[in-house]
Amino acid sequence: MERVTNMDTYFSEILDEFMTSALVIWVHLFDNVVDGEGDGPLSTQYLEVNSSSQNSQHKYLRLTNGIFLNEVMRVIDPNPKVEQICRNENNNEVLRVQNFSVLNRHLRSYYQEDLQQLLLMPLPNVAVLGRDPLTEASVGELRRLLLLLLGCAVQCERKEEFIQQIQSLDIETQTAIATCIQEVTQDPSNVLPLQWGELSAVEGPELQGLFNTMAQHIQAMLFQRDSLLERIAELYQEHELMERTPSPSAYQDTPQGLAVQLADSRAKLRRLRQELEEKGDQLLDYKQEVQAMEVELRKLRQENRTLHGEARTARNLRDELDYLRERAAKADRLQSELQSCAHRLRSLDLYRTQLQEQQQYCATLQETRALLEEQLGEVRARCSSLRELERDNLLLRQRVVDLEGERDTERQRVDELLEENMSLEAELKHSLGGARNLHRSGAESEDELSCETDFKPLSVEVSEASSWRLLGAENENAELRRRLEQLQAEQEACADGAGKTQLDPAELQEEREKLKEELRRQTDTRTSLEAEHRSTLKELQTLKNENSSLRNCLELLRTKQQREERREASSKEKRSDGEAGEAETQREEGEGGREAKGKAVTGEERRKTEKERKRGMSQIRTEREEGEGEEIFNLKEREDKLMTTGNDGEIKPIETKRDDGEGGKETRRVEMLKEKEEVDGKGKTRGGAEGERRRRMGRADRGRETEREAEDRGGGSKGDGGPPGGGEAGAGERQAGRPAPGGALQAGGGEQESREGPSSSCVAWRQRTWGLRRSAESLGAARKQIELLQAESAQMEEDLARLRSQAELQRLEGAVIAQLQGERAQLEREKDALRSTIDALRATARKGDQLELASQTLKAEAERLGRSLESSRRRGRRAGGGATGGGPGGGGPGTGGGDQAVLEAARLEQEKEAFENQLDAQRRENRQREREVARLRQQLESTASALEHSNQRACSPGGREQVPLP
């Protein structure tokens, strides 16, 4: 039959699109390698096309002649195992079909033998490609053929070279070629690997899907085989009938009709022969498929052996089951331990009772704490009273310090008076010539010296005189204010009355003016007193300067006295030798001797008094230096106080007694000391305060000793050289008291007033000394009481700290017991969970036994399947031998045996899949059981450790502190 000369427009579009695809571009890369053999002259019917599609159609016809693609395949695989290529010089369809058949066989053998892959996708239809290349179906078949060639190229030995050629193309073409490579190499529906070792790495679901697709392909191939065998049988029967029955056209007489009929018969014969050749090719293909199925059966046998190995592994699972049984026994042992732990938990009831006892004990402790707090309040009250006593003690100490300072100043005054007395004695010696007068004057001077030791210093007397003046002015001012208030009260009373008894405004005005003048006069006197006070302060400063200069002079006198003592020591022997002679001469001379004797006595007394004075001055110097600054400070404070009271206009009535004035002065000093202690103090230590107290007490003791020595000396001098009535006169002079407060220092006072003043001051100083001794004794008693109170307060603080520690221990014990109760509840919950897990373990053990039985049954089933596979293989071999030896006539029985073998293989495949599914399920169950066992082991270990820890905490002596009972 003739070919169509022109293609329709639709096919030309499809052809252009196909020729520009990535596969065609890739296959044209082999143009330089292939020499272009097989490009025979094309017939005119293929060349009569339009100019736009001529080049693409020429290239397409070159691809469909079969020679170019075979050459490309030989480039990919240079050692083919199939027959030679038929050179198609006359554009014969039969030769094209043979060439494509050769190419299909070459592809199949290369995939199966070299690449170890089974082609599941159908091979290209060689009849469509050879007979009708210019159709849409032939384009699809050619694309499939090029896809298989691409899969061979990227997996052959020269794949690096071919991949480099592909990489030389543009990006879009490379992407399309990569997609095609994935389609032909990775899609399990197209290609199946025959190396089962690679499939072992595939997981269960993927492997199951792969076997399902393989089974579907096998079923489709069996169906195609059956249909093709039936078609072959029908064609043979038609051929035999055509050979047996003569054609009705043979009886025709006309030779023209016979020729036409003969041509038609020959054409049918050629067509039938071609179909027969195609069926033969298909039969060869089916034989190859049967061989592939045999290979697959061998593989299934190998899988059966692997299943036997897995059955052996299932046998090995018995050891694991034994291990699980051991673990179950261990779980029973742990159950017994859990029961012992429950027994220990029951011992927590005992702890609960102990907790109740401790709570009761804590309540008693709370009561004792309340009592102790009450006692602490009492102790605090006593401490407050102790603080008041300490404050009084400080007042007394300050008063002692003030008295010591005043005593120092008095001693300084005594020293000055002694010097004046010495100068006066020297004058009296020169003025008086008689020994009696000298003796009397010596006795009187000794009396004066004994009394003048109690004089006050000049600065103190000046300050006292100024203060007494100020006090008198303040008293007068207060009296005036009182009168003014009385007048104002009377005025208010008169204003509240009926109004008839009102005073005259002029009189009131005059009274007011008088009062104003009196107030002005008082203020003037006050200012004058303040000025006088300032002048006395200046004089005091000058006296202090003179005191410093006198101190220097005293040092010089000490050095001179030491020199004189040395001289006296050297001349003492000379005097002792000359004393007897002098005495005789004095007796003879009479009056002159008595005078010399008086001089000697006075000289000795003078030396004694000088030594005592020096010793007293050495003791006084340090105390005087400490008391000078304090005296100045008190004077300034007194001045400021007077100024503030003058500015405020509030003058309080002050008693004229000196003791009260000194008490007020002491209170002011104590307040200032308290302020100073609040600013500085809290840093003072008890040792420093005790040292200061001892130093002051020592100073007071030294002062008392010096006073006693002075009294002893005064008493001795009066008893020895004084007149009999001298003691009574001295007592009268002591009882005369101190001078009046309003009396200032009088510069022109006589000798009698100067004697009365020192005697009264001596009496006052003795009274003060006794008062200081009594206060010192009271201070010692107060000190002892303070120490006792401090010891009691320290004991109370220790008891309170102990009670606090006991309360803290009780609180900690309560927290520990609450924690133990929570742990007990948690352990009970864990006990329930362990019971449930032990039940689950027992269930898993029973399930393991069931799995062992199932594994044995599976083993028996695997053996049975092996035997059935062996029998099916033998039947398949017998069926294959019968098909090859029986010829066309024996096609029916061979076909039936092959069908039975295929069905048996499909059944075995299904059984194999079911067995593998069961095996996978068993493996999953084993893994799940192992994980469960590991989790239970870990849970049991953690529970055991928690129980051990809680038991240690509950039973150890450190977990519960032993609190001593009160």
pLDDT digits (tens, 9 = 90+) for 34-78: 754 433 333 333 333 344 456 788 888 888 888 889 889 988 988
pLDDT of residue 143: 92
3-state secondary structure of 259: helix
359 pLDDT above the threshold of 80: yes
pLDDT of residue 232: 81
d(CA 902, CA 885): 20
User: 712 or 800: which carries more pLDDT confidence?
Assistant: 800
CA distance to 56, 222, 462, 484, per residue, from 471 (Å): 145, 147, 14, 19
Q: Which residues contact 755 (CB under 8 A, 6 or more apart)?
A: 448, 451, 733
User: 147 or 635: which carries more pLDDT confidence?
Assistant: 147
The upper half-sphere exposure of residue 925, i.e. CA atoms within 13 Å in the direction of its Cβ, equals: 21
Burial class (CB in 10 A: 0-12, 13-18, 19+), 467: buried
pLDDT of residue 734: 39
* Top-confidence range, 302-316, 429-443, 857-871: 302-316
User: Which tokens hold the place of 162?
Assistant: 């071919």
Q: Name the residue with tokens 């006595």.
A: 601
pLDDT of residue 503: 44
Lowest mean pLDDT among 96-100, 342-346, 404-408, 631-635: 631-635
pLDDT above 70 covers what percent of the chain?
A: 61
d(CA 205, CA 211): 10
- DSSP class of residue 36? -
Cβ count within 10 A of residue 880: 18
> Can you count the helices (H) and strands (E) in the chain?
23, 2
**Average pLDDT value for residue range 466-473:** 69
d(CA 876, CA 290): 9
User: 954 or 686: which carries more pLDDT confidence?
Assistant: 954
Q: Name the residue with tokens 């300032």.
A: 534
What's the distance, Cα to Cα, between the start and end of the chain in Å? 132
* Top-confidence range, 50-64, 276-290, 846-860: 276-290
- In whole angstroms, what separates CA 277 from the centre of its chain? 91
**Average pLDDT value for residue range 160-171:** 91
Q: CA 734, 737, 740 angle in degrees (round to 5)?
A: 150
| CA nearest neighbour of 758 among 415, 446, 422, 456 | 456
User: Which tokens hold the place of 739?
Assistant: 């001078």
Q: Name the residue with tokens 């129980």.
A: 947
301 pLDDT above the threshold of 50: yes
pLDDT of residue 852: 66
398 pLDDT above the threshold of 80: yes
> Helices 686-721 and 726-735 sit at what angle, rounded to 10 degrees?
140
250 pLDDT above the threshold of 60: no
**Average pLDDT value for residue range 413-423:** 82
Give the pLDDT band of residue 451 (cuts 50, 70, 90).
Answer: very low
d(CA 58, CA 54): 6
d(CA 233, CA 896): 13
Could you state, in order of their start, the residue ranges of all structural domains in the chain? Answer: 9-194, 379-497+508-567+595-788
Give the pLDDT band of residue 224 (cuts 50, 70, 90).
Answer: confident
Long-range contacts of 143-146 (CB under 8 A, 24+ apart): 143/18, 143/21, 143/23, 145/69, 145/100, 145/103, 146/23, 146/24, 146/26, 146/27, 146/69
3-state secondary structure of 160: helix
* Top-confidence range, 192-206, 503-517, 536-550: 536-550
pLDDT digits (tens, 9 = 90+) for 778-824: 777 777 777 777 787 778 778 778 887 777 777 777 787 777 778 77
pTM over 0.85: no
Cβ count within 10 A of residue 834: 20
What is the identity of the amino acid at 9?
T
* Top-confidence range, 419-428, 626-635, 699-708: 419-428
| CA nearest neighbour of 357 among 817, 952, 825 | 817
Give the CATH H-level superfamily of domain 9-194. Calponin-like domain (1.10.418.10)
| CA nearest neighbour of 901 among 872, 878, 880 | 872
User: 339 or 705: which carries more pLDDT confidence?
Assistant: 339
Cβ count within 10 A of residue 75: 15
> Could you tell me if residue 737 is left (phi over 0), alpha (psi between -120 and 50 degrees) or otherwise beta?
left
pLDDT of residue 202: 60
Lowest mean pLDDT among 2-11, 280-289, 621-630, 831-840: 621-630
pLDDT of residue 152: 92
d(CA 95, CA 67): 10
**Average pLDDT value for residue range 707-728:** 45
**Average pLDDT value for residue range 284-305:** 87
Length of the chain: 966
d(CA 869, CA 859): 15
Q: CA 30, 36, 37 angle in degrees (round to 5)?
A: 130
Q: Which residues of 401-434 are buried (b: 16+ CB within 10 A; e: fewer)?
A: bbbbbbbbbbbbbbbbbbeebeeebeebbeeeee
Give the pLDDT band of residue 879 (cuts 50, 70, 90).
Answer: low
Q: What is the DSSP string of 899-934?
A: HHHHHHHHHHHHHHHHHHHHHHHHHHHHHHHHHHHH
Average confidence score pLDDT of the chain: 70
pLDDT of residue 126: 85
330 pLDDT above the threshold of 70: yes
Give the pLDDT band of residue 887 (cuts 50, 70, 90).
Answer: very low
pLDDT of residue 561: 78
pLDDT of residue 178: 92
**Average pLDDT value for residue range 329-347:** 84
**Average pLDDT value for residue range 289-302:** 87
Q: CA 446, 450, 455 angle in degrees (round to 5)?
A: 125
User: 793 or 656: which carries more pLDDT confidence?
Assistant: 793
User: 357 or 896: which carries more pLDDT confidence?
Assistant: 357
86 pLDDT above the threshold of 90: no
